[in-house]
Amino acid sequence: MTDFPPPSDRPKAANLAALRLFRPVLFAVGAIGVTLGALILIHHPASQAPPAPATVANVVLPDPEPAPPLTTADFKGFHLKLPDTTAEAEQPASDRYELTLRLEQGDTVEKLLADIAVPEADRKQINEALQALLKKRKLAIGEALALVIQTLADQPDAPRVLSLSVRPQPEQEFTVTRKDDGAYAGEEKTYKVSPRIVRVEAEIQGSLQQSGVHGGAPVAAMNEFIKALSYDVDFQRELKAGQHFTVLLEQSVTSDGKVTHQGRLLAGELRLLKRTATVVRFRPLNGADQFYNAQGESVMRSFLRTPMDASHITSHFGMREHPILGFSAMHTGVDFGAPMGTPILAAGAGKVTMAGPNAGYGIFVKLQHTQQIGTGYGHMSRLGPGIRPGATVRQGQVIGFVGSTGMSTGPHLHYEFYRDGHPVNPLAQKFALRAALAGKDLGRFQGLTRSYLNEMKSAPHVAETVAPPPEPKPRNPVKPQLAGGG
Ligand SMILES: [Zn+2]
């Protein structure tokens, strides 16, 4: 049994992820404050504006050519966007600018417009047109409103809103636009969403999960990758820093390039010291999505590799000198040394056929998994909860605890594996016991695997397709103090 990710890495990864998640939020919160503060100062130079934070004194309006350039057209940041310099030749002094503001705690669209001194009549109309579009939906705190503002020469203190857009979901945008007659009209735009295949290629630094997330893979996809590998890879022993891995992700992208889903794991490859572990997502006919190895065998074993966490083999299957009886005898199972009380897990799903004292085996449990296959567990200190003859068990369920009952020299698990009632070597069985694809499914799988393996080398790297830090778009109230707690 291997667990994932190594427990010691889990909190660290979570903290890092949280930090990374909240860093843009912190930045955004600061930036909103600064921007609003600056705007208030600009528009009400002598007003009784709330005491401005000390930082406002240092505000420098952003450079017209901020570095590094944000390539995505949709990222407007929190800055005043100065007019396009090429247009200036025809229009001597552009009176328009774009502005992105975010809703704050307790904020409304009307209040936000009032804060930038939009005249009351316009505010009302804009809000009505927007509410008609949103119907009953409420905009989340932190939602970005993209505004195009015009400053009139004769009314410099009453900016005119030419348009206001909000995009609560990447595939859906609501825009309120000012018409020639001065009235505001709303429009809803829907963007088509289609899949895009990208890859994350990286080296292991820290945990596998952390390394993938750092490379741009979503946490959920890395967790799936790790889980799919965990049946085959012993993370404690086989995973080393510097090992190379690739994951292939299917993102959902709108027709104008916004990512609505960060990526579902399609396939992945992990290069270990002596071999490469490959997992491929596939849905067989009449089946559910599952991961398979490159040979088309399900990654999930019908049986666990070892029926315990943290154990080591102390005696193999076969002839040996019996430690108590003192003569040569067949050892009909494998012994795993483990501390007293270590939970023993059902190697596979099945039915309990024996549970209790059994001569030299001590407290013993026998499970029947299929008509042919059974397993046995000896020398337990006690039975697991609910374990009695006739009970059904799931794979990985605790059926008892390590002890030294019966003919035993110290705490260990004596594990037996039966085929048609005869003990066989448990460690020699594992590969025969996977579900494998066959027939049409196998043909389809092989075609898909070939194309995935190609795309793991040729698909665009996730970093090439994703905009710089993603725009923080909280769906729930942003509580800045959360960020401080991490
Ligand atoms: Zn034994």
- The rounded Å distance from CA 419 to ligand 1 centre is 18
More confident residue, 316 or 361: 361
Mean pLDDT of the residues in the chain? 78
Q: What CA–CA distance (Å, rounded) separates 60 from 18?
A: 30
Q: What CA–CA distance (Å, rounded) separates 23 from 16?
A: 10
pLDDT of residue 430: 56
pLDDT of residue 94: 59
Greatest Cα-to-Cα distance within the chain, rounded to the nearest angstrom = 109
- The rounded Å distance from CA 299 to ligand 1 centre is 29
How confident is the model over 326-382, as pLDDT tens digits?
A: 778 889 999 999 899 988 988 888 899 999 999 999 999 999 988 888 999 999 999
- The rounded Å distance from CA 396 to ligand 1 centre is 21
Distances in Å between the alpha carbon of 353 and those of 18, 223, 332, 391, 478? 48, 36, 19, 8, 55
Contact status, residue 71 vs residue 24, Cβ threshold 8 Å: no
**How many residues are there in the chain?**
486
Q: Could you say which DSSP state residue 325 is in?
A: T
- The rounded Å distance from CA 398 to ligand 1 centre is 20
Contact status, residue 344 vs residue 308, Cβ threshold 8 Å: yes
φ and ψ of 56, to 5 deg = -60, -35
β-pair partners for 320: 329
How confident is the model over 195-250, as pLDDT tens digits?
A: 999 999 999 998 899 999 999 999 999 988 988 887 788 777 788 999 999 999 99
Q: Which of 176, 171, 196 is nearest to 186 (CA)?
A: 176
Q: What CA–CA distance (Å, rounded) separates 56 from 37?
A: 7
- The rounded Å distance from CA 306 to ligand 1 centre is 14
Q: Residue 73 — pLDDT band, cuts 50, 70, 90?
A: very low
pLDDT of residue 169: 82
Q: Which residue is it, tokens 């893979």?
A: 217
How confident is the model over 106-140, as pLDDT tens digits?
A: 889 999 999 888 999 999 999 999 999 999 888 88
- The rounded Å distance from CA 377 to ligand 1 centre is 9
- The rounded Å distance from CA 354 to ligand 1 centre is 18
- The rounded Å distance from CA 317 to ligand 1 centre is 8
Q: Which of 24, 141, 117 is nearest to 77 (CA)?
A: 24
- The rounded Å distance from CA 412 to ligand 1 centre is 8
